[in-house]
């Protein structure tokens, strides 16, 4: 839910006007270098281990912290699953309950039921 898929992209995007980024750039650090450093943590660098019918991505169309076009959509492409969208974002998760209900129903149909899937 609201996945942070590429830490390098997040750090580079959110640090755009940061003095820390200016110092890093001056020291020769680039987005490509960060991508290489964080590659071990990126879920898009290895095949998924969960069967496709048990993979879900929930994302907010208005998310400004983990922008969907560079985070959720990259993971959806890699996992080959659609995104369950809600209208809000990280902070105002407007409509999130509809997406969670879809996940609960899908997991329930697979035999996964219980308190962990109730909100």
* pTM for the whole structure: 0.79
**For the chain, how many structural domains are there in total?**
1
Q: Is residue 67 a part of any domain in this protein? A: yes
Q: Is residue 27 a part of any domain in this protein? A: yes
Q: Is residue 87 a part of any domain in this protein? A: yes
Surface-to-core class of residue 66, CB atoms within 10 Å of its CB (0-12 exposed, 13-18 middle, 19+ buried): buried
Q: Is residue 62 a part of any domain in this protein? A: yes
Length of the chain as a residue count: 119
Q: Is residue 51 a part of any domain in this protein? A: yes
pLDDT for res 114: 61
Q: Is residue 110 a part of any domain in this protein? A: yes
Residue 119 neighbours by CB under 8 Å, 6+ apart: 97, 100
- List phi, psi (to 5°) of 84: -90, 105
Decide if 73 contacts 84 (C-beta within 8 A): no
Domain region containing 25: 7-117
Q: Which of 114, 54, 117, 65 is nearest to 89 (CA)?
A: 65
Q: Is residue 1 a part of any domain in this protein? A: no
Mean pLDDT by 10 residues, the chain (119 residues): 90 88 93 94 93 91 91 96 90 84 86 62
């Amino acid at each position: 839910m609201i996945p942070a898929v590429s830490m390098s992209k997040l750090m580079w995007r959110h640090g755009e006007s940061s003095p820390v980024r200016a110092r890093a750039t001056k020291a020769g650090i680039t987005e490509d270098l960060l991508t290489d450093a964080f590659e071990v943590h990126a879920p898009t660098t290895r095949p998924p281990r969960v069967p496709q019918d048990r993979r879900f991505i929930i994302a907010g169309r208005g998310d400004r912290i983990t922008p969907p076009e560079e985070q959720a959509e990259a993971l959806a492409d890699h996992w080959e699953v659609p995104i369950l969208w809600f209208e809000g974002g990280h902070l105002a998760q407007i409509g999130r309950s509809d997406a969670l209900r879809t996940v609960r129903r899908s997991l329930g149909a697979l035999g996964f039921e219980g308190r962990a899937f109730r909100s």
